[in-house]
Amino acid sequence: MARELKEVVSHDDELIKELVGLWEQSVKASHSFLNYEQIAQIKAYVPTAIK
């Protein structure tokens, strides 16, 4: 899936939601050693890390 690059001026809620979704897809595709519960636990911290 091709993604468009764009300059980020502010981290609004919609952008953070999109980035968290992208993070989750990437982790599920590349971290087979993590189960869904572990991913969900880590995911809770991702929005704070993005801001």
Place of tokens 């809770």: 44
pLDDT at 38: 98
**Per-state percent for the chain, helix, strand, coil, to nearest 5:** 60, 0, 40
Sign of CA dihedral 18, 50, 46, 24: positive
Position 4 scores a pLDDT of 85
**Strands (DSSP E) found in the chain:** none
pLDDT band at 51 (very low <50, low <70, confident <90, very high): confident
pLDDT in tens, 3-43: 888 777 777 899 999 999 999 999 999 999 999 999 999 99
pLDDT in tens, 40-50: 999 999 999 98
Tokens 């929005």, located at residue: 47
